């Protein structure tokens, strides 16, 4: 007789709407990668190599071998290719650090574009969800007014929530609030600074 319990082998099935969401996110990332130029892919690959602990170990080993090799040659009385203070080594390390920083910045800029796309998508979905909620509340209020069994009363909070929020108005309010908070902090700073100067003449 077969075991009615679900098997532990294989991935668990997900609801259809979750699978659709996962496919949409994966497709967004895939399209972002396909739009990358060959140079951007090369920079991303190089940045991935640099970010690994193995890269640091290889660089450390190379520096140790370079330094130890030059010191060993000097002890044998032979001319070293880069005697102390190891000017060639310093130059190579400086150039490598410059190129590494530029490569990481280029790769990070590409990742920031994807992060900005995700933030924009999240914001659009949040605004759309708020609009849907407001429309649902509006329809429920209309249904309550149309039902003869329901008491006819005015709900100011429900009426306010039934109106969709204007994103620009909210953004302006946030900017104004932040500016007011910054001005308040600046106005409180001089007295504190004066007190500190009084303690330490």
Residue that the structure tokens 């590409």 belong to: 110
Is 113 part of any domain? no
Is 133 part of any domain? no
Is 14 part of any domain? no
Is 9 part of any domain? no
Whether 113 shows a pLDDT value over 80: the answer reads: yes
Is 24 part of any domain? no
Quote the mean pLDDT of the chain: 79
Residue that the structure tokens 């990358």 belong to: 36
Is 5 part of any domain? no
Whether 10 shows a pLDDT value over 50: the answer reads: no
pLDDT attached to residue 195 = 47
pLDDT attached to residue 92 = 93
Is 145 part of any domain? no
Number of domain units in the chain: 1
* Cα–Cα distance for residue pair 27/183, rounded to 1 Å: 45
Whether 117 shows a pLDDT value over 60: the answer reads: yes
Q: Which domain holds residue 196?
A: 166-201
pTM score: 0.55
| 100-110 tens-digit pLDDT | 999 999 888 88
pLDDT attached to residue 193 = 47
Q: Residue 38 corresponds to which tokens in the numbers above?
A: 């060959």
When pLDDT is cut at 50, 70 and 90, the band that residue 88 belongs to is: very high
Whether 7 shows a pLDDT value over 50: the answer reads: no
Is 129 part of any domain? no
When pLDDT is cut at 50, 70 and 90, the band that residue 156 belongs to is: confident
Q: What is the DSSP string of 56-106?
A: HHHHHHHHHHHHHHHHHHHHTTPPPSS-TTTHHHHHHHHHHHHHHHHHHHH
């Amino acid at each position: 007789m077969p075991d009615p319990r679900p098997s532990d082998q294989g991935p668990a099935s997900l609801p259809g709407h979750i699978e659709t969401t996962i496919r949409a996110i994966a497709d967004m990332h895939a399209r972002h990668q396909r739009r990358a130029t060959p140079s951007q892919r090369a920079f991303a690959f190089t940045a991935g190599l640099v970010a690994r602990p193995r890269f640091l170990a290889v660089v450390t080993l190379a520096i140790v071998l370079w330094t130890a090799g030059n010191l060993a040659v000097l002890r044998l009385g032979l001319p070293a290719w880069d005697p102390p203070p190891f000017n060639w080594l310093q130059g190579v390390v400086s150039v490598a650090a410059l190129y590494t920083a530029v490569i990481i910045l280029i790769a990070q800029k590409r990742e920031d574009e994807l992060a900005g796309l995700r933030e924009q998508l999240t914001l659009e979905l949040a605004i759309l969800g708020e609009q849907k909620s407001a429309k649902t509340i509006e329809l429920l209020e209309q249904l309550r007014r149309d039902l003869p069994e329901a008491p006819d009363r005015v709900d100011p909070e429900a009426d306010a929530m039934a109106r969709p929020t204007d994103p620009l108005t909210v953004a302006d309010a946030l900017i104004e609030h932040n500016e007011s908070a910054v001005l308040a902090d600046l106005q409180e700073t001089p007295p504190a600074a004066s007190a500190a100067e009084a303690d330490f003449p």
